[in-house]
Structure 1
Amino acid sequence: MLGEQLAYWKDRLAGAPPLLALPADRPRPAVQSHEGASLSFELPQRIADALQELSRREGATLFMTMLAAFQTLLHRYAGQTDIVVGADIANRNRRELEGLIGFFVNMLVLRTDLSGDPSFLKLLERVREMTLGAYAHQDVPFDKLVEELQPARNPSYSPLFQVVFNFYQDPAEGIDLPGLDVSVLDSYQNVSKFDLSLFVGQRADGIRGFWSYSTALFDAARIERLHAMFVTLLESILAKPETRLGALELTSEAERHEQLKAGRELKASGFKKFKTLKPRVVSVAPESLVRSERLRAESALPLVVRPISDEVDLASWAENNREFIETNLLKHGGLLCRGFRVASVDDFDRLARAVSPALLDYNEPSSPRSEVGQKIYTSTEYPASQWIQLHNEMSYTRHWPHKVFFCCVQPAEQGGATPIASSREVWELLDPSLRERFIERRVMYVRNFSPGLDLSWQHVFGTDSKSEVEDYCRRAGITFEWTGRDRLRTKQVQQSVLRHPTTGEVVWFNQAHAFHASSLEPAVREALRAEMDEADFPRNAYYGDGSPIEDSVIEAIREAYRRAAVTFEWQQGDVLMLENMLVAHGRAPFSGSRKVLVAMSELIHEADVDTLRDGEAEPALVQV
């Protein structure tokens, strides 16, 4: 029986993230501190009753509903979709133990998948299924589970989970014993075994509880704010439980108006103070209308920008704060604007042009896309089951966009996350001998255009005229050959490594790994080999002299991308701005409908950028 239950937990927790990195007020100490504090609270009867009714209606317990709400809060607050928390369980699942005095409590590891931005009701289904599975396998002692799973140990945080949710029945009226007056005393100690714990007690007149938190990480003000967000989230869930997680409110209407009022008063007071001075152009500090934070505590990529109020218009804010955007794109590589309610092609078009008025056409494309507005495109239309490898946009050509914008109109039902990776970090992760090889030899991209196989040459070059294609290739330094009726082969040798024109940093900037034949699914690759020579594949990558790039070298490049990658799930209305030379992007497979828009701006030509020549000294990586 124990072996069966251990097998369940090993499967359930395979690949779980080792750390839930909540935004904190101080860096995590090298050795975990158990110094803590607590914040008590009470929820009114109306919220308790509504939560009970929602639970009853959806076939869940109050514990499941509160857990789903708590994990939603953690998901929104930390930006993670794979949420793992611990929970106490009485462990009296046998009749012989019910009347026995003693302490049998065990800890369960509750892992929930919040990907795909589901509705709260859909999440509650997931939590119910997950919780019932955990209950059915509750007999494995937690210490035994840690021993068997052998998670990577770090003295700065506890294994398997760092956040705990506990639910208990609170006897508000005390315990009635003959000849004794018994009452429950609150005994909050200044100790916290975990980063954060939420204790929720159900009683006749409502719900009461307390937050226990590590004072080595969090200030009291942050926990007070987190609790206010939790209450607002509960209200939002109860008002419309069918709402997607990303659209649920975390800030109350009164708080939003108060923040907006404070911003207006600040500007008004500033005007009174300086109205006697000579007028000059000033910029409103971006912090007065937005707040910024890291998506992951351990990574500078991307910077998340959120509005302090629903009344903040992203396009207007961006137009007035271009310096903020430019500075942080150079520093972080990407900005994820979340909560601004960008909902349509027109909204996205206005925002992109507010940052960069001259948008670009998608010339010489490598993937199928549709133009849905003036220079606004769909993201790649390759099949949903296919991985789109991390790449810098159009880095296989002699000209590429400086900025790339993405907007999520509709997140996928499942999957469809976007990985992004710093080109600076990829460069640093590669073996020096590999880097030197590509600096010296560069990359040759070979494309074979055949009717009915991948993109046609008419689509890529935007014309049916062969002479126009030939003229374009000559101007772009592309070697071309008509290999048969309506068949075209092109070759172009491009950069592999560049020096950023503004920061002077070295960046890995090519698509050798994405064009290489090994990037094809094995079944597709074998099917093509059965029909043609590898030289005739729709696309391939070689060293610049035409010699094959070894599969092992391509795998080393992919491993560097994997190690540098930061992945996030889209929420409806998200806008992602990327500095294209500094950050690569990709796409995970998905199911269901997914609509992400793309725009590009500010063309950069290879002639205007320094390539790193063989043996040239490398500047140090800028730390952010």
Structure 2
Amino acid sequence: MTAAIHLDTEPRHGGLVCEVSSPDRPALTELGVQHGPFIRERVVEHGAALLSGYQWAGWDDLDAFVKHVVSAPLDYTERSSPRTELHPGVFTATDHPPTEEIFLHTEQSYNLNVPRYLFFFCKQGAPEGGASRLADCRAIHDALPREIVERFDKEGYLLVRNFLPGLGLSWQEAFATEDRDQVRRYCADNGIEVQWLAEDHLQTRQLRWAVATHPETGVKSWFNHMTFFNSSALKKDLAELLLEEYGPWGIPTNTFHADGSEIGQDVMEALHAAYRGHELDVHARTGDVLIVDNLSVAHGRAPFVPPRELFVSMADALSWARLRPVERTALPGGGSAVRGD
């Protein structure tokens, strides 16, 4: 008979992160078996949980733990960043260069079905830097100027993506297929407009909501990719180069008002300030597991000095229809995306 696992819990970072540790250093899988529902409850209550002092080794350990806490890991669809799939449902956290920061975002909030939970498994912590950056999206929602929240809550926003050879992810990588008809079918099923502007230049346009209501707590959250995908999130010199070459509608990703007009600089500055004002660093050490409620907490990454190995699993798919209890619909406005000039 397996011995009972004793847990120590302590809220950190103003209560956003619940630290869960055990002096016995049990196997991670046993922790999931005995305390899976308890851990999930702490994640929902706080927004994130950091687990320290548990043993895990292979992919099967990670897969079993995720299943015991929530459900089976999800695939990574409609991709926006380079990742390597290491095992079904287990990916590298990102393959972006270590010298670059990854800005705060909520995972796949631009999809019609979004992952509810994110599991970050730290196999090897970086010798310097590499903190996981978190921000409370509930607090961001409440801190933003009301006129910004109310407009985007009502109208949503427009995401435009361009897939060009040699510039960001290719459409084959993003949609995990070489078949154009399969891309068209996926987009038709997911409220995405498709236009081939050249032989190998695909442009997609999708209207998405900006504010979600948590299905368990009923709390509203600033849940979108509006800032992360906007040209303002790029380094200034790179943004200027891309905009001069391709224009606001031609760069790899950009966001607009739902009517296709550009979002003003003052609005973007307010959004950036809100994220930065609620940003905090969580340092996951070798062997730690960080679990994030994707609906409540945005995540990012600080630059780091290699080596660093961090794996991620996403779990518990949730439809946007469940995050908009009033409208019960996945697309704001109910209409087509507007083409900008």
1:402–1:592 Cα change, 3 Å: same
> After superposition, what is the alpha-carbon deviation per residue over 1:220-269, rounded to whole angstroms, capped at 9, x for unaligned?
xxxxxxxxxxxxxxxxxxxxxxxxxxxxxxxxxxxxxxxxxxx96xxxxx
> After superposition, what is the alpha-carbon deviation per residue over 1:359-382, rounded to whole angstroms, capped at 9, x for unaligned?
100000110000001110001111
Which of these two proteins has the greater Rg computed from alpha carbons? Answer: 1
Give the conservation status (yes or no) of the 8 Å contact 1:342–1:575. no
- Partner in structure 1 of residue 118 of structure 2: 404
> After superposition, what is the alpha-carbon deviation per residue over 1:414-451, rounded to whole angstroms, capped at 9, x for unaligned?
21111111111111111111111111221111000011
- Partner in structure 2 of residue 584 of structure 1: 298
Distance in 1 (CA, whole Å) between partners of 2:6 and 2:304 is 34
The CA deviation at 1:344 is: 4.3
AA in 1 matched with 2:7: V
- Partner in structure 2 of residue 293 of structure 1: 10
Distance in 2 (CA, whole Å) between partners of 1:499 and 1:517 is 27
Distance in 2 (CA, whole Å) between partners of 1:584 and 1:319 is 28
**Among residues 84, 89, 93, which one is paired with 1:370 in the alignment?**
84
Distance in 2 (CA, whole Å) between partners of 1:414 and 1:473 is 41
Instruction: Give the match's secondary structure for 1:381.
Output: coil
Structure 2-normalised TM-score?
A: 0.91
**Among residues 256, 263, 282, which one is paired with 1:542 in the alignment?**
256
Give the conservation status (yes or no) of the 8 Å contact 1:480–1:488. yes
1:469–1:324 Cα change, 3 Å: same
1:532–1:610 Cα change, 3 Å: closer
The CA deviation at 1:468 is: 1.1
1:357–1:506 Cα change, 3 Å: closer
Give the conservation status (yes or no) of the 8 Å contact 1:369–1:380. yes
CA RMSD of aligned residues (A): 1.7
AA in 2 matched with 1:391: H
- Partner in structure 2 of residue 424 of structure 1: 138
Q: Given the alignment of the two structures, is residue 308 of structure 1 paired with residue 23 of structure 2, yes or no?
A: yes
Distance in 1 (CA, whole Å) between partners of 2:240 and 2:260 is 22
Distance in 1 (CA, whole Å) between partners of 2:232 and 2:47 is 29
Q: Given the alignment of the two structures, is residue 359 of structure 1 paired with residue 76 of structure 2, yes or no?
A: no
AA in 2 matched with 1:548: E
The CA deviation at 1:346 is: 3.8
> After superposition, what is the alpha-carbon deviation per residue over 1:142-197, rounded to whole angstroms, capped at 9, x for unaligned?
xxxxxxxxxxxxxxxxxxxxxxxxxxxxxxxxxxxxxxxxxxxxxxxxxxxxxxxx
Distance in 1 (CA, whole Å) between partners of 2:257 and 2:29 is 43
TM alignment of 1:168-247, pairs within 5 A: none
Instruction: Give the match's secondary structure for 1:536.
Output: coil
Instruction: Give the match's secondary structure for 1:604.
Output: strand
AA in 1 matched with 2:24: S
**Among residues 169, 174, 187, which one is paired with 1:460 in the alignment?**
174
Distance in 2 (CA, whole Å) between partners of 1:426 and 1:612 is 21
Distance in 2 (CA, whole Å) between partners of 1:363 and 1:542 is 23
> After superposition, what is the alpha-carbon deviation per residue over 1:23-82, rounded to whole angstroms, capped at 9, x for unaligned?
xxxxxxxxxxxxxxxxxxxxxxxxxxxxxxxxxxxxxxxxxxxxxxxxxxxxxxxxxxxx
Relative to its length, the structure with more helix (as a share) is 1
- Partner in structure 2 of residue 445 of structure 1: 159
The CA deviation at 1:611 is: 5.4
**Which structure exhibits the higher relative contact order, with contacts defined as CA atoms closer than 8 Å and separated by 6 or more residues?**
2
The CA deviation at 1:514 is: 0.3
AA in 1 matched with 2:245: E
Q: Share of identical aligned residues, percent?
A: 35
- Partner in structure 2 of residue 171 of structure 1: none
- Partner in structure 2 of residue 563 of structure 1: 277
Give the conservation status (yes or no) of the 8 Å contact 1:343–1:573. no
**Among residues 206, 227, 234, which one is paired with 1:520 in the alignment?**
234
Instruction: Give the match's secondary structure for 2:182.
Output: helix
Give the conservation status (yes or no) of the 8 Å contact 1:344–1:409. no
Distance in 2 (CA, whole Å) between partners of 1:529 and 1:431 is 28
Give the conservation status (yes or no) of the 8 Å contact 1:513–1:558. yes
Give the conservation status (yes or no) of the 8 Å contact 1:342–1:574. no
The CA deviation at 1:491 is: 0.4
The CA deviation at 1:483 is: 0.3
Distance in 2 (CA, whole Å) between partners of 1:342 and 1:555 is 42
1:563–1:344 Cα change, 3 Å: farther
The CA deviation at 1:534 is: 2.3
AA in 2 matched with 1:400: V
- Partner in structure 2 of residue 531 of structure 1: 245
Distance in 1 (CA, whole Å) between partners of 2:311 and 2:262 is 35
1:372–1:505 Cα change, 3 Å: same
The CA deviation at 1:568 is: 1.5
Give the conservation status (yes or no) of the 8 Å contact 2:193–2:205. yes
Instruction: Give the match's secondary structure for 1:586.
Output: strand
Instruction: Give the match's secondary structure for 2:228.
Output: helix
- Partner in structure 1 of residue 334 of structure 2: none
Instruction: Give the match's secondary structure for 1:444.
Output: strand
Distance in 2 (CA, whole Å) between partners of 1:304 and 1:589 is 23
The CA deviation at 1:494 is: 0.6
AA in 1 matched with 2:11: R
Distance in 2 (CA, whole Å) between partners of 1:566 and 1:531 is 35
> After superposition, what is the alpha-carbon deviation per residue over 1:295-330, rounded to whole angstroms, capped at 9, x for unaligned?
33xx111100001212x2222122222331222122
Give the conservation status (yes or no) of the 8 Å contact 1:416–1:590. yes
Instruction: Give the match's secondary structure for 1:382.
Output: coil
> After superposition, what is the alpha-carbon deviation per residue over 1:87-106, rounded to whole angstroms, capped at 9, x for unaligned?
xxxxxxxxxxxxxxxxxxxx
Give the conservation status (yes or no) of the 8 Å contact 2:40–2:70. no
Deviates more, 1:487-496 or 1:337-346: 337-346
AA in 2 matched with 1:303: C
The CA deviation at 1:347 is: 3.1
Distance in 2 (CA, whole Å) between partners of 1:600 and 1:305 is 20
Instruction: Give the match's secondary structure for 1:555.
Output: helix
TM alignment of 1:22-61, pairs within 5 A: none
- Partner in structure 2 of residue 281 of structure 1: none
Give the conservation status (yes or no) of the 8 Å contact 2:125–2:284. yes
- Partner in structure 2 of residue 23 of structure 1: none
Instruction: Give the match's secondary structure for 1:377.
Output: strand
The CA deviation at 1:523 is: 1.8
AA in 1 matched with 2:266: S
Distance in 1 (CA, whole Å) between partners of 2:57 and 2:276 is 31
Distance in 2 (CA, whole Å) between partners of 1:556 and 1:326 is 33
- Partner in structure 2 of residue 163 of structure 1: none
**Among residues 322, 342, 348, which one is paired with 2:36 in the alignment?**
322
> After superposition, what is the alpha-carbon deviation per residue over 1:263-301, rounded to whole angstroms, capped at 9, x for unaligned?
96xxxxxxxxxxxxxxxxxxx6xxx511011233xx111
The CA deviation at 1:385 is: 1.6
The CA deviation at 1:345 is: 3.6
